[in-house]
């Protein structure tokens, strides 16, 4: 037996590895521990196997996914359930026995001739009450390398675990490769087995499908949180820096392209995480951690002006994986929205050879990514790995809304905040989906990853009020309000909305009560605009931004009433929704 496995003294780990070794039939099995030597081996294997390619900048590599493997595959991502469930929304699921009967033959021999990497990871900080251990089996060195950047190493945590049977299991295979990319994408499957806390994902490489510890593990965690009475949320976690060195910790949920990462990276603040948090109650106080230790981020529009910290990492030495971007002949990555002109000679592209005259083919895929460690960021918060997490003082919910919501408002109560989170809508844009202005309902920015009925998820949030002495304040934000086709907010204004919310958490400023919540006073925003952004803030701008558009708000909540009328929601939630509509009347 491998000495590393023997040292774990964990019969279930050995059973899992033996089972999937026999099923997937790899030519070799390599057990990885927490050492830098094993991490270096992964990077070497990724280069040797052609999944990654070295760039001249020290530590930088690039990876290309197949042309049909560039985003999350919603159609083939399914929950495996032992019995049917009424989720209250559309989600892909199938009978567990049928799913296993389908995918196991597809996995038979899928790793033949390849090397299986066995990795031990920890979701959340190690040696923490938040920790969830994760065992990953994959034949992709690129996937294993990505996970090493994104998650804490967990071999020692497995070795010291009191409950040897308590861990998530992820089995991934890129399948047969042609020119370094997955060939059989027609047989791509991503199945989440809630009953046994395991995920099978095959015939893919795109990290959103293949890195099981990310959104696939998130589904397992939400289900577990529901059973155990805590919260797993699709939220950033950041420190807002107030007067006299005060740091107030905010979480925030935003659908894609609505400002989530840019809020987490507001200049002058500190980032704990950009994507997923776990939140638990200790001594009647809600505390939260970042599940990850890295960022798998969309690279489009990352530039030196809007995203200086990230741009600095992407253009200097240090470990970074670029995916699906243009690589010039001299080994420099280029991407859409970087404000850097690509070379006239073009370069290597995920579609093949790219030149500037290919007007219909962007420099990089819209979902092109970068993978980095949070430690590389100058603005990372020092509590990143604190096993106790941080006290969660406030929550932001935001969406893309051109004609209704004010830039920032405070919920009237915790229950009202739960309602606002459940009512997140986001308008589509012509650039992404071809039809502009279509409102998509996305409660808690979490609909794609919800493994349980929405009513139960909402009930868990409502119940939090009975478990803590002080619930976090909840704020709704909107950076996309327009008039006559022009944005009423500058993209940097979100710093002012954050700093105003930070003051509200501590009772430093008063607010105006409206039917939809509390909005800022003009006189409190003027000094914040001067100190934070160095500019004057006019009364005309304030009136345009913070006029409460009663009819538009009423239409929004009536849309929500029609949706929730079809779901058996908790009584307290429906009372809050009806009260909101009544106030608007």
- Residue-wise pLDDT for 350-383, tens only, equals 999 999 999 899 999 999 999 999 999 999 999 9
In the chain, the N- to C-terminal Cα span, in Å, equals: 72
Q: Is residue 429 predicted with pLDDT exceeding 80?
A: no
**Contact criterion met (CB below 8 Å) for 42 and 145:** yes
**pLDDT range class, residue 256, cuts 50, 70, 90:** confident
Give me the mean pLDDT over the 173-191 stretch: 94
Yes or no: domain 3-52+68-228 corresponds to CATH 3.40.449.10: yes
Res 554: pLDDT: 96
What is the mean pLDDT of the segment spanning 221-250?
A: 97
Active site residue 121: no
The DSSP element (H or E) to which 375 belongs, if any, is none
- Residues of the chain within CATH 3.40.449.10 domain(s) are 3-52+68-228
Question: pLDDT band at 466, cuts 50/70/90?
Answer: very high
SS3 534: coil
pLDDT at 179 over 90: no
Arithmetic mean of pLDDT, 391-415: 97
Between helices 571-584 and 414-422, what is the axis angle to 10°? 90
pLDDT of residue 96: 97
Mean pLDDT of 168-179: 95
pLDDT at 432 over 50: no
Candidate from 234-238, 254-258, 550-554 with smallest mean pLDDT: 254-258
Residue tagged 């202005």 (tokens): 437
Q: What secondary structure does DSSP assign to 457-509, as a single string?
A: HHHHHHHGGGT-SSPPEEEEE-S--EETTEESS-GGGHHHHHHHHHHHHTT-S
Give the whole-number percent of the chain exceeding pLDDT 70: 98
Classified as helix, coil or strand, 34 is coil
Q: pTM of the entire structure?
A: 0.95
Mean pLDDT, the chain, rounded, equals: 95
Two tokens, residue 42: 């992964």
Task: Report phi then psi at 397, rounded to 5.
Answer: -120, 135
Between these two residues, 434 and 401, which has the higher pLDDT value?
401
Closest by alpha carbon to 227, among 195, 254, 250, 205?
195
Tokens 């559309």 belong to which residue?
90
pLDDT at 433 over 80: no
Candidate list 24, 121, 122, 258, residue with the active-site label? 258
Quote the distance between the C-alpha of residue 509 and its chain's center: 32
| Under 8 Å between Cβ of 520 and 477 | no
Contact 88, 454 (CB under 8 A): yes
Reported as a single tens digit per residue, the pLDDT across 511-521 is 999 999 999 99
Beta bridge partners of 294: 373
Two tokens at 137?
Answer: 């089996």
Q: Residue 436: which pLDDT band, with cuts at 50, 70 and 90?
A: low
* Residues carrying CATH 2.170.8.10, the chain: 296-374
Written as six digits, the tokens of 263 are 């809020």
The tens digit of pLDDT for each residue in 69-85 reads: 998 999 999 999 999 88
CATH 3.90.228.20 residue ranges of the chain are 232-293+384-584
- What would the mean pLDDT of 91-118 be, rounded to a whole number? 96
Is residue 496 within 8 A of residue 535, CB to CB? The reply is no
pLDDT score at 90: 84
The CATH label, of 3.10.310.10, 3.40.80.10, 3.90.228.20, 3.40.1010.10, for the domain at 232-293+384-584 is 3.90.228.20
Residues 477-492 pLDDT 10s: 999 999 998 999 998 9
Distances (CA, A) of 423 to 452, 559, 567: 18, 9, 14
User: Contact at 8 Å (CB) between 459 and 568?
Assistant: no
* 226-250: b (≥16 Cβ within 10 Å) or e: beeebbbbbbbbbbbbbeeeebbbb
Average pLDDT over residues 114-136: 98
Supply the pLDDT for residue 243: 94
Least confident of 124-138, 428-442, 569-583: 428-442
Closest among 329, 335, 332 to 364, alpha carbons compared: 335
The answer to whether 392 touches 288, Cβ cutoff 8 Å, is yes
CB burial class (10 A; 0-12, 13-18, 19+) of residue 36? exposed
What pLDDT was estimated at residue 1?
Answer: 67
Spatial neighbors of 246 by CB under 8 A, at least 6 apart, are 502, 506
Output the pLDDT for position 33: 97
Residue-wise pLDDT tens digits, 438-460: 889 999 999 999 999 999 999 99
Cα(119)–Cα(31) distance, rounded to whole angstroms?
A: 7
Check whether 434 has a pLDDT greater than 60. no
Please report the DSSP string for 57-113 in residue order: STTEEEE---TT-SS--STTEEEEESS----SS---EEEHHHHHHHHHHHHTTTTTT
Query: How many Å separate Cα 319 from the centre of its chain?
Result: 21
Tokens 């304030």 label which residue? 542
**In this structure, CATH architecture of domain 296-374:** Beta Complex (2.170)
């Amino acid at each position: 037996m491998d000495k590393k496995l023997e040292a774990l003294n964990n019969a279930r780990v050995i059973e899992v590895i033996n089972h999937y070794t026999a099923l997937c039939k790899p030519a070799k099995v390599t057990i990885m521990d927490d050492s830098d030597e094993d991490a270096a081996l992964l990077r070497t294997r990724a280069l040797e196997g052609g999944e990654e390619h070295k760039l001249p900048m020290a530590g930088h590599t690039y990876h290309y996914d197949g042309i049909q493997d560039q985003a999350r595959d919603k159609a083939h991502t399914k929950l495996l359930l032992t019995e049917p469930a009424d989720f209250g929304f559309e989600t892909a699921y199938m009978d567990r026995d049928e799913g296993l009967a389908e995918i196991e033959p597809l996995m038979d021999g899928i790793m033949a001739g390849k090397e299986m990497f066995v990795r031990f990871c920890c979701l959340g900080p190690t040696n923490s009450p938040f920790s969830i251990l994760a065992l990953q089996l994959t034949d992709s060195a690129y996937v294993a390398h990505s996970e090493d950047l994104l998650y804490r190493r967990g071999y020692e945590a497995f070795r010291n675990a009191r409950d040897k049977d308590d861990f998530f299991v992820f089995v991934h295979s890129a399948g047969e490769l042609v020119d370094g990319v997955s060939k059989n994408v027609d047989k791509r499957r991503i199945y989440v087995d809630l009953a046994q806390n395991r995920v099978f994902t095959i015939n893919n490489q795109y990290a959103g499908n293949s890195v099981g510890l990310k959104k696939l593990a998130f589904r397992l965690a939400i289900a577990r949180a529901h059973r155990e009475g805590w919260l797993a949320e699709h939220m950033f976690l950041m420190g807002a820096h107030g007067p006299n060195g005060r740091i107030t910790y905010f979480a925030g949920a935003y659908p894609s392209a609505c400002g989530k990462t840019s809020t987490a990276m507001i200049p002058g603040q500190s980032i704990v995480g950009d994507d997923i948090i776990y939140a638990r109650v200790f001594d009647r106080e809600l505390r939260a951690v970042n599940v990850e230790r890295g960022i798998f981020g969309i690279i489009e529009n990352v530039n030196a002006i809007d995203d200086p910290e990230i741009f600095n990492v992407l253009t200097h030495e240090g470990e970074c994986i670029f995916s699906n971007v243009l690589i010039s002949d001299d080994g420099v990555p280029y991407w859409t929205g970087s404000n850097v002109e690509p070379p006239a000679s073009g370069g290597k592209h995920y579609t093949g050879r790219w030149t500037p005259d290919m007007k219909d083919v962007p420099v990089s895929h819209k979902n092109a990514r970068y993978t980095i460690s949070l430690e590389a960021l100058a603005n990372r918060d020092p509590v990143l790995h604190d096993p106790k997490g941080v006290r969660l003082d406030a929550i932001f919910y935001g969406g893309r809304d051109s004609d209704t919501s004010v830039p920032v408002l405070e919920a009237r109560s915790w229950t009202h905040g739960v309602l606002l989170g459940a009512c997140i809508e986001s308008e589509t844009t012509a650039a992404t989906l071809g039809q502009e202005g279509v409102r998509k309902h996305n409660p808690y920015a979490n609909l794609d990853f919800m493994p349980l009925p929405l009513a139960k998820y909402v009930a868990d949030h409502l119940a939090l009020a009975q478990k803590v002495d002080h619930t976090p304040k909840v704020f709704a934000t909107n950076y996309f309000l327009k008039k006559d086709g022009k944005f009423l907010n500058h993209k940097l204004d979100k710093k002012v909305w954050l700093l105003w919310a930070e003051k509200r958490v501590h009772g430093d400023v008063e607010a105006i009560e409206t039917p939809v919540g509390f909005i800022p006073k003009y006189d409190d925003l003027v000094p914040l605009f001067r100190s934070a952004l160095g500019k004057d803030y006019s009364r005309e701008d304030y009136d345009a931004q913070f006029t409460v558009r009663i009819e538009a708000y009423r239409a929004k909540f009536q849309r929500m009433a029609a949706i929730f009328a079809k779901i058996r929601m908790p009584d307290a939630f429906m009372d809050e929704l009806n009260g909101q509509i009544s106030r608007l009347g």
